[in-house]
Structure 1
């Protein structure tokens, strides 16, 4: 923690006498010794000089860091040992003990760790948890006293990003900088079907952008395309049902599934809390899925397919699927999937709207070394620690990746992000500032510059700092989520013969579980928040 030091005049006089003695002793040093000290810092070296390093690292400490990812891998210990060795150049007398849990198990493991009261220094928090509830019960400490105007984090990360991790005006985490814009959606289609005239990209884009992704007009365009394919006996596996996730979506700010905001994100007063599953858009989506299943546009075995998304981007797979759109997306997807892909944008504007930021790292209330923990966070989130960050995320060059250029690599044994069976590879969006990450074969060229520009230009919600307190309705939220788990996937498949009744039962059970109470409580909190911003 940085503190200003105030000293009396008498003490200053004593210090000047001591300083003079030190200077005299330094003058007696041999020229050889001085040259040795000078040569230890090579010009242009990326290793920080002693004056740049933090000075309060005399005590030997081990920082404990817990986070989600692929789980412990074959070469984890080797890479972590290399990281700790390299860390000595930045933070002397500091070692990090890493604990990585599979993401599906992270929330349960965190609850056990938090309940035990064990000393933990750094912990990830994000979308698998109720972050606001964790902060309200004191699991994390406020970081404001550790973050002054001289912190590289304060200087290098944008204010709007840092504000995403503020609760009641206090900073409780360092957001992991990445693309946080609600990126525009785009429909992917094998280009051969465009060339055959089964869909007109310009006409489709005009209708998508005019009426919206989750409109009857948009579904009609896609259905005509599917009908053309069926007539020509080229339907393959038909429509990807995962694409229906994007239709009603929570593009306008998740409050913790299934609750979200709807309205004009340029006008705070227009925003309303809804249960996403109890909306006309969701009803339209389920009706469309059921209709398409009956017409044969959705594969008959859909209910037995464990992961339907695996057939997206296969030559004999789905004839369309929907996902994010970035610059040069068609060329990137064509290279990625190995055959020509046409990408048709479905939206025109980009927003940053999510009130609860999905991924950040905080210092826990049980930390015995918060100052040192903050110093490590500074390295993981700023350009000074770029080399350390990439070592931790990607592992050892030649063993876990091949260097293509200064900022681009090819990972070995996986693509995208590390898997449980990979020798090594953590998830870059968990560990720190992804602007410092190498680009990989899973990224289009210039990806880091692309998403940073997108973040900067995106329309930012006026309620980014709104984080609802779930405590008054935590029981209802848990009950509603259990109902969602029971119904949502089967309704989305379109394969239920009585989908109308199933949907009605779904909504009724959510209401009995307390969904309306959650909506009312969150709406009250939202209106209270908006009133304080005026």
Structure 2
């Protein structure tokens, strides 16, 4: 998904990348048995034999629910027909996608589960159709036996560390997607401007290092805004890579092993003091706090400095492809791999599924066949994309998928599962995918990996804290407060009144129990 941004969806990023992250890592039973500490489920000869004789005698239709990836989805019938030719032949089944508008997604899928309605596959994550909450409610089916019998290709490709993030009391409850678990963030610059003003962008190591360039743009480019900032998109450089968000306003220090209020972190205070300074100097748009479509703003070409488009590439190819104009990038920071980042996209089988075996077979087929995966993601050749080199039956063709108003089909690859099998395209180049995978492989795991906070004992306080964060986040991310020190202190007080201290105490209690259980 990273690198595949949509207007409709905003997904959590690992680490404390904005001041008061509002996504809550909630619910779920935090204690895992020793099985969850292993690498990945081992495949046995018996399981392989069972898979080879898997029951496909009766034809079935496999239902798959997910939020609508883009608003303008019009080619579902054609895409499903192309995919189902393969699926029918191999599995004696069809797949039927149920794509729900984002505005109603959470409510509709919750009601469906609560009513016990039968369905098969469903998108889940730490922030959308929350995995942990669903496990607590018994909405999902344990997958261990199904993976052993029918998921051999999945077992080969899932990052072994990721099973910890989806394991509850020793049972695997979802299949974690291949996705950037620890995406390095970057400062991104319009290439023509750094060349025009001979700015040494490679030596930018902090927010403060941007000042000379922003000043130059402000004084010499009246039609440009020096740096992008929006209500839901923090500027590169404000991240806290040594901290992992637990709930909004509370972070875990990877160095100290302690839970702290994010507003109390000195580096966080300094980062947003600088953003406030930039705002006062006119480097940030005056109406930045009411801008909510980060990608549209970035693609407009009116900003000199942007943030990465979902990952850092040394040659700038990823942001150039996403934003539509030449860019250059320099590394900013890399967060730790957390439970939240490893569950940014996952697929579960409903506890009400009447066809769990065939559902697992379908997932395994997608994880094994690049053509099927990319057909479901990109759509139909000639209708939704064109081939620029090679053929779609090759291992590595290069394609150009339609975008913008012309795009009428898209499912992001990691919503389906195997991101690294994506064809080279304008969504992600092969080089960008390789860079993301390398970052994953080299990423450091958080001390909280496998810990899941159950917010039920403090759900009232969490709701109150979220209300404070919803109001404060756009102001902090854009620096648009008139009196910075006062705004910080006022927000701190509001969070205390909302019950943040009680929440920290509950997190610590659950963490201590989890650690003792390990």
Q: Normalising to structure 1: TM-score of the pair?
A: 0.77
Q: Which has the higher contact order (CA 8 A, sep 6+)?
A: 2
Corresponding residue for residue 386 of structure 2? 402
- CA distance in structure 1 between the partners assigned to 2:321 and 2:177 by the alignment: 29
Given that 1:133 and 1:471 are in contact with CA atoms closer than 8 Å, whether structure 2 keeps it comes out as no
CA-CA distance at 1:459 after TM superposition: 2.1
1:502 aligns with 2:487: yes
> Paired residue for 1:173?
174
The offset of 1:489, in angstroms, is 0.6
Give 1:255's aligned residue.
Answer: 246
Identify the residue that residue 267 of structure 1 maps to in structure 2.
none
Contact 1:146 1:371 in 2 (8 A): yes
* Aligned residue number for residue 373 of structure 2: 389
Deviation of 1:363 after TM superposition, in Å, equals 1.1
**Residue equivalent to 2:411:** 426
SS at match of 1:366: coil
Q: Give the 3 Å change call, closer, same or farther, for CA 83–132 of structure 1 in structure 2.
A: same
- 1:345 matched to 2:335? The reply is no
Match of 1:162 in 2: 163
The corresponding residue for 1:413 is: 402
Cα gap change, 1:83/1:332 in structure 2, threshold over 3 Å: closer, same or farther?
closer
Q: Look up the match of 1:226.
A: 214
Q: How does 1:78-89 map to 2 (within 5 A)?
A: 78-89=78-89
Say if 2:464 and 2:498, in contact at 8 Å, map to a contact too.
Answer: yes
Cα-Cα RMSD:
3.1
Offset at 1:319? 1.9
SS of 2:140's equivalent in the other structure is coil
Question: What's the CA shift string for 1:164-213, capped at 9, x where partnerless?
Answer: 211232200001112222x2222122344444566434543xxx2xxxxx
Mark the runs of 5 or more structure 1 residues left unpaired by the alignment: 6-49, 209-217, 265-269
521 and 240 in structure 1: CA distance in 2 versus 1, 3 angstrom threshold: same
Distance 1:274 1:133, change over 3 A: farther
| CA distance, structure 2, for counterparts of residue 449 and residue 169 of structure 1 | 32
Out of 328, 349, 360, the position equivalent to 1:363 is: 349
CA contact (8 A) 2:150 2:361 kept: no
* Contact kept in structure 1, 2:186 and 2:332, CA below 8 Å: yes
Once residues 477 and 314 of structure 2 are traced to their aligned partners in structure 1, the CA distance between those partners, rounded to angstroms, is 30
Q: Which deviations, in whole Å up to 9, do the C-alpha atoms of 1:398-428 show, x marking residues without a partner?
A: 111112333344344317xxx8x73222222
Q: Which runs of 5+ in 2 are unaligned?
A: 1-42
3-state DSSP class of the match of 2:363?
helix
Corresponding residue number in structure 1 for 2:112: 113
- Mapping of residues 283-298 of structure 1, within 5 Å: 283-298=269-284
The alpha-carbon deviation at position 328 of structure 1 amounts to 3.7
| Contact 2:254–2:446, Cα closer than 8 Å, also in 1 | no
Say how many residue pairs are matched: 461
Who is 2:475 aligned against? Answer: 490
* TM-score, structure 2 as length reference: 0.79
What whole-Å deviation, never above 9, does each CA across 1:355-382 have from its counterpart, x for those lacking one? 46111111111112222222122122x2
Q: How big is the shift at 1:98?
A: 1.6
| C-alpha spacing 1:91/1:343, structure 2 compared with 1 (3 Å) | same
Q: Give 1:21's aligned residue.
A: none
Change (3 A) 1:195 1:482: same
Contact kept, 8 Å, 1:226 with 1:235, in 2: the verdict is: no
Q: 1:53 Cα shift?
A: 5.6
1:147–1:288: structure 2 CA closer, same or farther, 3 Å change rule? Answer: same
Counterpart of 1:98?
97
- Alpha-carbon spacing, 1:200–1:234, altered in 2? closer, same or farther (3 Å): farther
Aligned to 2:200: 200
What is the CA deviation profile of residues 477-527 of structure 1, one whole-angstrom value per residue up to 9, with x for unaligned ones? 122112211221133323332444333332222222222222221122223
Change (3 A) 1:103 1:472: same
SS at match of 1:312: helix
- 1:469 lines up with 2:470 in the alignment: no
| Equivalent pair of 2:66/2:122 in contact (CA under 8 Å) | yes
The residue that corresponds to 2:303 in the other structure is: 318
Query: Which deviates more from structure 2 when the two are superposed, residues 336-345 or residues 366-375?
Result: 336-345
Residue 278 and residue 367 in structure 1: after superposition, are their counterparts in 2 closer, same or farther (change >3 A)?
farther
Instruction: Give a deviation string over 1:199-237, Cα, whole Å, max 9, x none.
Output: 434543xxx2xxxxxxxxx23222233234444456821
- 1:247-287 per-position Cα deviation (integer Å, ceiling 9, x unaligned): 443644443544432223xxxxx322334355434433332
> 1:123–1:230: structure 2 CA closer, same or farther, 3 Å change rule?
closer
Question: Which position in structure 1 is the counterpart of 2:57?
Answer: 58
Which is higher, the Rg of structure 1 or of structure 2? 1
Aligned residues of 1:70 and 1:101 also touching (Cα < 8 A): no
Q: Deviations over 1:34-64 (max 9, x none)?
A: xxxxxxxxxxxxxxxx998653111232222
